[in-house]
Amino acid sequence: PSRGLAQTNYKIISNKLGGRTLLHVGFAYNLHRKNNKSSVWTCVNKRHGKCSGSIKLSEESDNVQIQKCHNAECQPNLMKNEVRVVMEKLKKEVKTSFSSSIQQIFETKFAELKNTDTAFDEYIPKFNNIKQQLYNSRKKALNVEKTQFRNPAEVIIPEIFQKYLLVDYCENDNRIIRYRPAVTIHGCNVHFQRAIYRKAKSLGLLAHEETTLYVKLCTCLAFLPKEDIEDGWLSVMENSIPDEKVTQFNDYFVEQWLEPPGMISKWCCYKERHRTTNLVEAWNQRLQCYQGRKPSLLSFLEIITTDISTYSTDYEEMTVLCKRKKSSIINDKLIAKLTDKYEKKPITIMEFLEQIRPTKTKSGASTTGAKHTGGVTYGPQLFTT
């Protein structure tokens, strides 16, 4: 652009030093000084003596005005700026979304750029080069000194997770709230789905493909943001089938899962990494196998001590404590990808629900580990973007 030309297409992001960087038509500028109603920004290559380009940002007109043109060797790079924008989003998600590993978030964020153009590979940073920076950001957000420990005895639970409980749906919730009023209670997604399928089966809805697909849509409402669930339910109702049994099912869903105060917050699992109590139930079953039906206090303590020692040894030897199924890993990635797609609003609520809707696998094997009576297994369908 020629000197003095005013334009408004810019974006301001944070940089590695904690300052601000302005992105404009392929160039990047660091904040130099802030005046009364404007600010001056200099090219990021200035500190290397490679460019003296600068711009002025007017707060009144919200325009970028060129003050000094860039040197000839300093060329605009739109791809590099796109990577900077994605890095900004990555840093924010690492500090706010704890349901996925940092590496998984990194791979998800940059996957779309790579799919758009392979030329982005030249500018996308290597994970190993920035992982320490990302881990530090997460530790700072959680207000902890470390997130990895040598043995379970050293584990420090961040304050944010001390107020979160994942439980089965039971009548004791009010008792928990009475003694721990600050705790947020979430229900197990498997139990949520089983309850819905159980009701649907009792009404004979799982005997027909059309009504089965309708029931599946209802279970997928849990993957929407809490504030979008009611709109999602209205979208599902628009596709409701004019049938007495379906009407009974709709009444059940409203009375059981939508109307009770605070109920939606319990079964909504939007962006939750741990959506079920399967691990806890597996551990309880393991203990019961060892201790029998009526163990003495001493035998119980001995079993617990042995169990802790076993897990501590496995942890120190870097043994996988609980190996996840490959299908579960694939499903989590698909759900995360669809959720990210929905957040950017290229798809409607109904399109999101239909794409994430469970489907029967060809082999008949469960792809999520969540089964229900009737012999049909479900898991998020594969999709393409």
Instruction: Please report the pLDDT score of residue 158 as a whole number.
Output: 74
Instruction: Determine the 3-state secondary structure of 228 from DSSP.
Output: helix
The one-letter amino acid code at 41 reads W
Provide CB contacts within 8 A for 156, sequence distance 6+: 144, 149
Domain presence at residue 255 = yes
Report pLDDT for 2. 44
Token representation of residue 189: 């997604």
**Total domain count for the chain?**
3
Share of residues in the chain with pLDDT > 70 (%): 70
Q: How far is CA 81 from CA 67, 113, 118, 184, 361, in A?
A: 21, 12, 16, 39, 42
Task: Share the mean pLDDT of the chain.
Answer: 76
Q: Residue 320 falls within a domain, yes or no?
A: no
Residue 198 domain-assigned (yes or no):
yes
Residues paired with 6 in a beta bridge = 65
The answer to whether residue 372 sits within a structural domain is no
Residue 243's closest CA among 284, 278, 204? 204
Structure tokens at 249: 């099912």
Who wins on pLDDT, 195 or 162?
A: 195
Strand order in the sheet with 6-7: 6-7, 63-68, 54-58, 38-43, 27-34, 20-24, 10-14
pLDDT at 115 over 60: yes
Q: How far apart are CA 194 and CA 192, in angstroms?
A: 6
Residues 209 and 340 occupy one common structural domain:
yes
Q: Please name which of 181, 148, 142 lies closest in space to residue 161, comparing C-alpha atoms.
A: 142
Q: Are residues 68 and 207 in the same domain?
A: no
79-90 pLDDT tens trace: 999 999 999 989
378 pLDDT higher than 70: no
The answer to whether position 343 is within a domain reads yes
Residues 241, 211 contacting (CB under 8 angstroms): yes
Per-residue confidence (pLDDT) for residue 65, from 0 to 100: 82
- Cα–Cα dist 231/233, whole Å: 5
Could you read off the pLDDT of 312-350 as tens digits, one per residue? 665 555 555 566 677 777 777 888 888 888 888 778 889
- Per-residue pLDDT tens over the stretch 139-189: 888 888 887 776 666 777 777 666 555 555 555 545 544 445 555 666 788
pLDDT reading at 265 higher than 60: yes
Residues 6+ apart with CB under 8 A from 330: 367
Report the pLDDT value the prediction gives residue 384, as an integer from 0 to 100.
Answer: 28
DSSP string, 242-305: --HHHHHHHHHHIIIIISSTTHHHHH--TT-S----HHHHHHHHHHHHHH-SS--HHHHHHHHH
Mean pLDDT score, 48-71? 82
Q: Indicate the range of 110-124, 172-186, 244-258, 351-365 predicted with least confidence.
A: 172-186
Asked if pLDDT for residue 279 goes beyond 70, the answer is: no
Domain shared by 94 and 50, yes or no? no
Q: Give the pTM.
A: 0.48
Q: Are residues 204 and 248 in the same domain?
A: yes
In terms of domains, do 136 and 271 share one? no
What integer is the mean pLDDT of 53-76?
84
For the cut 80, the answer to whether the pLDDT of residue 300 exceeds it is: no
The pLDDT of residue 197 is 92
* 13 or 371, which is more confident: 13
Residues 355, 208 share a domain: yes
pLDDT at 180: 52
Same-domain pairing of 94 and 127: yes
User: Of the candidates 181, 95, 196, which has an alpha carbon nearest to the alpha carbon of residue 139?
Assistant: 95
How many Cβ atoms from other residues are within 10 Å of residue 1's Cβ?
Answer: 16
Residue 302 lies in a domain: no
CA distances from 14 to 29, 55, 88, 178, 202 (A): 11, 18, 7, 42, 55
Mutual angle of helices 78-96 and 102-116, in 10-degree steps: 150
Mean pLDDT across 112-133: 87
**Residue where a domain terminates, one of 40, 57, 76:** 76
- On whether both 93 and 189 belong to a single domain, the answer is no
- What is the reported pLDDT for 35? 84
The DSSP symbol for 183 reads P
Q: How far apart are CA 385 and CA 137, in angstroms?
A: 31
Please tell me whether residues 211 and 281 are part of one structural domain. yes
- What is residue 119's predicted lDDT score, i.e. its pLDDT? 86
Supply the pLDDT for residue 81.
92
Whether 108 and 226 share a structural domain: no
Per-residue confidence (pLDDT) for residue 29, from 0 to 100: 92
Confidence label for 99 from pLDDT (cuts 50, 70 and 90):
low
**Residue 316 in tokens:** 């120190």
Tokens of 236: 């599902």
Question: Which domain, by its residues, includes 18?
Answer: 6-76
pLDDT average, residue stretch 219-224: 91
> How many beta carbons lie within 10 A of that of residue 352, not counting itself?
21
Q: Are residues 241 and 355 in the same domain?
A: yes
> 334 and 220 in one domain?
yes
> Does the structure show a pLDDT above 80 at 17?
no
Parallel/antiparallel/unpaired status of strands 164-167 and 63-68: unpaired
Residue 149 lies in a domain: no
pLDDT band for 382, please (50, 70, 90 cuts).
very low
Q: pLDDT grade, residue 276 (50/70/90)?
A: low
